[in-house]
Amino acid sequence: MNTREGLSKIRFVLITGLSGAGKTEAIRCFEDLGYFCVDNLPPTFIPKFAELCLHSEGKITSIALVCDVRGREFFHNLMEALQAMETMGFQYEILFLEATDEKLIRRYKETRRRHPLADKGSISGGINEERKLLEKFKGKADLIIDTTNLAPKELKEKINEFYSQDRVRENILVTVVSFGFKYGIPMDADLVFDVRFLPNPHYVDSLRPLTGNDPPVKEYVWQWVVTRQFFQKLRSFLRFLIPCYIREGKTQLVIAIGCTGGKHRSVTISKELSSVIKESNYRVTLEHRDILKT
């Protein structure tokens, strides 16, 4: 096997992100998937380690490394290490894990562990400093997972979906998320569509307690001409756009559909949209972020 063939056969995933966001759980998931895993490898050693894996005679083809601010002053060499990887011809992926400040602080208080950057200050101060240090790596990330509301099992499912060695690497993962604007736009949304212009089931007394998954609400939403016209244009737009993203190299696309409360219109539209996208043989996940909120 020559060097070029060896490079093409190695999948190299760098796991980074905020302390307390789930990197330890993530590396366990990669171990279960059969990846060769290393936790907290100093960045300076990453290119050399990659080169060693290249000369393993095909025994190591899937690698996952955790690299974060626990490395202290060594962490500042990470960008330089990644540039060295690119010069060597190694392709790598970055998985970035994050969560809200409130959730991270709660996790640290529950575990009674100290934040690595909170030696001389508060946990929140350490988190703010860490966000600044990681900003450029978040910008380079191939996949960003917000673990604020994820149980370990749900995080494992997301990692399995995206990094299982059985899946086709070039196949994009499309996530359709319904949400309520009054609770904020999803942080990881690539495309946001506002459906608040559609007639609102909330103002129909019999429909208010229901959700967009219930037949009476779906019938109400789809009975309007404007709904059907909008969806036809949305479907045509995404049929054009998704292949463009794939050609550009994008491996994850998050489409957020929002109404006022995230309970009726956005749920109905999101469910139908996910079905249409799946019919085009894309991998699709559907989430209703705010459907249970009042």
**CATH value at residue 38:** 3.40.50.300
What is the reported pLDDT for 271? 95
Query: In whole angstroms, what is the distance from residue 150 CA to residue 86 CA?
Result: 33
Residue 271 forms part of a structural domain: yes
Instruction: Indicate whether 41 and 159 sit together in one domain.
Output: yes
Looking at 114, 129, 163, which one is the last position of a domain? 163
What is the reported pLDDT for 4? 44
Instruction: Indicate whether 151 and 195 sit together in one domain.
Output: no
Residue 221 forms part of a structural domain: yes
Instruction: Indicate whether 198 and 267 sit together in one domain.
Output: yes
Query: In whole angstroms, what is the distance from residue 99 CA to residue 102 CA?
Result: 8
- Weakest-pLDDT range from 94-103, 116-125, 238-247, 282-291: 116-125
Looking at 113, 143, 163, which one is the last position of a domain? 163
What is the reported pLDDT for 73? 57
Question: Domain tally for the chain?
Answer: 2
Q: Which helix (H) or strand (E) holds 36?
A: strand 36-39
What is the reported pLDDT for 126? 76
Domain with 187 in it: 173-288
pLDDT digit string (tens) for 254-278?
Answer: 999 999 999 999 999 999 999 999 8
Strand partners, 178: 257, 288
Query: In whole angstroms, what is the distance from residue 229 CA to residue 259 CA?
Result: 17
Instruction: Indicate whether 209 and 269 sit together in one domain.
Output: yes
Instruction: Indicate whether 209 and 256 sit together in one domain.
Output: yes
Residue 293 forms part of a structural domain: no
CB atoms within 10 A of CB 175: 21
Residue 164 has pLDDT above 70, yes or no: yes
Q: On the CB side of 2, how many CA atoms lie within 13 Å of its CA?
A: 2
Residue 12 forms part of a structural domain: yes
Instruction: Report the length, in residues, of the chain.
Output: 294
pLDDT digit string (tens) for 72-88?
Answer: 555 677 888 888 888 88
Residue 294 forms part of a structural domain: no
The DSSP output letter for 69 is G
What is the number of H-type helices and E-type strands within the chain? Answer: 10, 9
At 105, list the tokens.
């602080």
Q: Which of 8, 6, 11 is nearest to 57 (CA)?
A: 6
Residue 2 has pLDDT above 50, yes or no: no
Instruction: Indicate whether 137 and 9 sit together in one domain.
Output: yes
Instruction: Indicate whether 117 and 196 sit together in one domain.
Output: no
Residue 225 has pLDDT above 80, yes or no: yes
Q: On the CB side of 99, how many CA atoms lie within 13 Å of its CA?
A: 21
pLDDT category of residue 287 using cuts at 50, 70 and 90 = very high
Instruction: Indicate whether 225 and 109 sit together in one domain.
Output: no
Q: What is the dihedral of CA 215, 221, 223, 229, to 10 degrees?
A: -130
Residue 91 has pLDDT above 70, yes or no: yes
What is the reported pLDDT for 1? 43
Residue 166 has pLDDT above 60, yes or no: no
Looking at 163, 194, 213, which one is the last position of a domain? 163
The DSSP output letter for 41 is -
At 31, list the tokens.
């171990």
Residue 114 has pLDDT above 70, yes or no: no
Q: For residue 132, how far is the Cα from the chain centroid?
A: 20
* Contacts of 245 by beta carbon, 8 Å cutoff, 6+ apart: 172, 253
Instruction: Indicate whether 262 and 143 sit together in one domain.
Output: no
Residue 118 has pLDDT above 90, yes or no: no
CB distance 127 to 104 below 8 Å: yes
Residue 104 forms part of a structural domain: yes
Residue 93 forms part of a structural domain: yes
- Weakest-pLDDT range from 2-11, 149-158, 250-259: 2-11
Instruction: Indicate whether 125 and 254 sit together in one domain.
Output: no
Residue 113 has pLDDT above 80, yes or no: no
Rounded to an integer, the average pLDDT of 241-248 is 82
Instruction: Indicate whether 177 and 142 sit together in one domain.
Output: no
pLDDT category of residue 3 using cuts at 50, 70 and 90 = very low
Q: Sheet harboring 173-180: ordered strands across?
A: 191-194, 252-259, 173-180, 283-288
What is the reported pLDDT for 168? 41
Instruction: Indicate whether 93 and 125 sit together in one domain.
Output: yes
Residue 168 forms part of a structural domain: no
CB distance 258 to 291 below 8 Å: no
Q: Residue 178 region, left (φ>0) first, then alpha (ψ -120 to 50), else beta?
A: beta
Residue 9 has pLDDT above 70, yes or no: no
CB distance 116 to 125 below 8 Å: no
For residue 68, which amino acid is it?
A: D
- Phi then psi for 14, rounded to 5 degrees? -100, 120
